[in-house]
Chains A and B, each alone.
Chain A
Amino acid sequence: MSENTILRLEGVTKTYAGGVTALSPVDLSIRKGEIFALLGPNGAGKTTLISIICGIVTPSAGTITVAGHDAQRDYKAARRAIGLVPQELSTDSFESVLATVTFSRRLFGHGPNPAYIEQILRDLSLWDKRKSRILELSGGMKRRVLIAKALAHEPQILFLDEPTAGVDVALRRDMWKLVHRLRDNGATIILTTHYIEEAEEMADRVGVINRGKLLLVEEKDALMKKLGRRQLALTLAEPLAALPAGLEQWHLELEADGRILRYTFDAQAEHTGIPSLLRALSDRGISFSDLETKRSSLEDIFVDLVRETA
C-alpha cells in the first residue's frame, strides 16, 4: 500500500441474500486528502459500496484496507478512521442535538471534548439549536445533525452518501465550505452522487459506477479532457431552412429556427474539423455573426459511458 493511499478495496463483491448482485469485483484506491466522487445512477451500488467499507453490509468477497488496517481483522482501528453521513435521514427523536453528537463521539471511543463539539455545531449552524430535540428540526437541520455526528470523532475519512439530495441551497453551500475546510485539514472525503454537476464542481477524482461495475476512475480534469467533447455554436447571419447538402461529414445540428448551427467535436483529436468546416461554409456563402465553443458537461460523458456498458 503506497504511503499516499488511505483506503484500498481489492476484489470487493456483494450479492444480497435475495440474489441481487449489487457489486461486481471492485478495485479502488483512494488517496489521502482527496475529494473523490462516486458517480452513478440510482441502484448502481454506491450505497452498497460505502456500507461495506463502513461495516454496515457484509461483503461477499474481497479485502478492504483503511488507513493501513484490515477492515475485517482490525475492524476497530479501521472504523475509528471513518465517519459516515448516510443517505437516509435516520436520527433519534427525543435526544437533544448536543446529546446525540456527544453520544457519537463517545461511541467511537473518544472521551468528551466540549470545545471541539461546539466548533462542529457552530460550523454547521447548529449551535443555537443544540438544546432542541431532534424531532423538532426540519429535514435540512437533521442532515446537518447527521454531518455533525459523523465528524464528532474526528475521522480521517468522511463518507457523504448523496449529501445534497433534497437539500436547500444554504446547506449545500455550507456543506461544500465545510468539505473544503476538512480537506484543507488533511481529511479525505468520498461522496456519492447522481448529479454530474456535483462531481464536476467538487471532486478531484471521479469514479463512475453503473450496475455494480466501476467503469472508470479518473482525475476529473483528465476525464474532462479525455472524454470531454467540445461544441462549436455558430450564430448565423441569415436563418437556414435546412442543412445545405455536402456538409454531412460534420454531423451538424440546426437549432433555434435555423439561427444556430451546432458542431460537436473531439477536443483532443488531431484534426478537429473546424477549419475545413468554416471553409465549406464560406464556399456556400453561409456567414455567421457570432461563434462560441463550450466543453460538454460530465453529464454527456456519463451518458456516453453508461450507454457503452448498457
Chain B
Amino acid sequence: MNLNGIWAIYRFEMARFGRTFWTSLLVPVITTSLYFVVFGSAIGSQMREVSGVPYGAFIVPGMMLLAIFSESILNGSFGIYMPKFTGTIYELLSAPLSPFETVLGYVGAAATKSLVIALIILATAHLFVDLTIVHPFAMIGYLVLICVTFCLFGFVIGIFAKGFEQLQVIPLLIVTPLTFLGGAFYSVMILPEPWRTVTLFNPVVYLINGFRWTFFGTSDVAVAVSLSATFALFAACLIAVTVIFRTGWRLKH
C-alpha cells in the first residue's frame, strides 16, 4: 500500500480547497440562511408541519443533500479533470499507485470537503430551527456514504469530461432538478397521482428519505429500500471507476 502516495494526493487536493477556504465556508452559510428566509418564513408560515415535523426542520436534510450533491460532483470531477487538462496527469499515471489508491486520495479529499460543508449547513440551520437528530450515528454514516458516492460519481464525470462545460452539465441539468423534484423540500406523499408514482422512479427520492429518516425517524419510503438504493448507487459508481482504470479509458492512450 502506497500510503505516502495517497496522502500526497489527499494533501494536494485539500490544499486546493484551502486556497478558497473562506468562500467555501461563506457560500453554504449564506445559501442556508437564504433558504430559511424564503422557504422557512414565506412558505413555512403557510405550512406548519410535514409528516409531523415542523417545516423549518423538515427541509434541513434536503438542503444538506442538495449542497452535497453539487459540491461532491464538482470537487470529485475537478480533482481528476485538472491534471488531464494541464497535462500533469503524466506524473499520476507514472506513479507507483494502484487505481484504488489514486481514487482513495482524490475521492477521500473531495468527500472530506463535502462533509465539512454539510456540517456547516447543519450548524447554520441549527441557528434558525430546533433540531433533534433521532439517529445521530446513522445520520453521520449515511452522510459519509452519500458524500463518497457522489464524489465517486464526480470522479467518473471528471474522467469522462472533455471540456469544462461538461463538468457543469450533469450536476446542473440532471442532479439538481432530480433533487428538487425528489422531495428535497416537500414530502412526495403530498403529490397527486400519477406524479407520486412517477416520482418513485427518481433515485434521489430514496436518498433524501433515507437521510430524513436518520433525522426524524419517519420517511415516505421504507428505510431498507432507501439504504439499498443508496448502496446500489455507490456500487454502480465503484464499478464504473474500476472499469475505467482497468481499461485506461480516457486516461491512457
Contact B252 A107 (CB under 8 A): no
Partner among B5, B88, B92 whose Cβ is within 8 Å of the Cβ of A109: B5
Main secondary structure of the interface of B (DSSP, over half): helix
Q: Any chain B CB within 8 A of the CB of A80?
A: yes
Contact A56 B8 (CB under 8 A): no
Complex interface: chain A residues within 8 A of B16 (CB)? 94
A17, A90, A110: the one contacting B90 at CB < 8 Å is A90
Which residues of B27-52 have CB atoms within 8 Å of chain A's CB atoms? Answer: none
Q: Which segment of B93-101, B156-164, B190-198 sits at the interface? A: B93-101
Please indicate the chain A residues that have their CB under 8 angstroms from the CB of B15 in the complex.
Answer: 95, 99
A119 at the interface (CB under 8 A from B): no
Known A58-B253, A91-B88; judge A79-B5 contact (CB<8 A): no
A278, CB-defined interface residue at 8 Å: no
Contact B253 A108 (CB under 8 A): no
Tell me whether A107 and B253 are in contact in the complex, defined as CB-CB below 8 angstroms, given that A56-B90, A75-B96, A80-B96 are known contacts: no
Q: Are A111 and B4 in contact (CB under 8 A)?
A: yes
Residue from B8, B19, B97, B253 within 8 A of A94 (CB atoms): B19
Question: CA separation between A104 and B5, bound complex, in Å?
Answer: 9
Residues in chain B near residue A17, CB distance under 8 A? 253
Q: Which residues of B contact A51 (CB under 8 A)?
A: 90, 253
| Contact yes or no, B95 A108, CB < 8 A | yes
Interface size for chain A: under 10, 10 to 19, 20 to 34, or 35 or more residues? 20 to 34
B4 to A110, Cβ gap below 8 A? Answer: yes
Smallest CB gap from A54: residue in B? B94
Check A109 against B4 for contact (C-beta < 8 Å): yes
At the interface, yes or no: A143 with Cβ under 8 Å from chain B? no
User: Among A76, A92, A103, which residue has its beta carbon within 8 angstroms of that of B86?
Assistant: A92
Q: Nearest CB to that of A81 among chain B residues?
A: B96
A106 within 8 A of B: yes
- Decide if A273 is an interface residue (CB 8 Å cutoff): no
B2 neighbours in A (Cβ, 8 Å)? 76, 109
Q: A90-B87, A92-B86 are in contact. Are A106 and B93 (CB under 8 A)?
A: no
Please give the distance in Å from A163's CB to the nearest CB on chain B: 15
User: Across the interface, do B19 and A107 meet the contact criterion of CB distance under 8 Å?
Assistant: no
Q: Are B4 and A16 in contact (CB under 8 A)?
A: no
Q: Given the complex of chains A and B, what is the CA–CA distance between A95 and B12 in angstroms? A: 9
- Which residue numbers of A lie inside 8 Å of B, CB to CB? 16-17, 51, 54-58, 75-80, 82, 84, 86, 88, 90-95, 99, 103-104, 106-111, 149
5 contacts between A and B (CB under 8 A): A75-B96, A86-B87, A90-B86, A92-B86, A109-B4
| Inter-chain pairs besides A54-B90, A86-B90, 15 sampled, C-beta below 8 Å | A17-B253, A54-B93, A55-B94, A56-B94, A56-B252, A57-B252, A86-B87, A88-B87, A103-B12, A106-B4, A106-B5, A106-B8, A106-B11, A107-B5, A149-B91
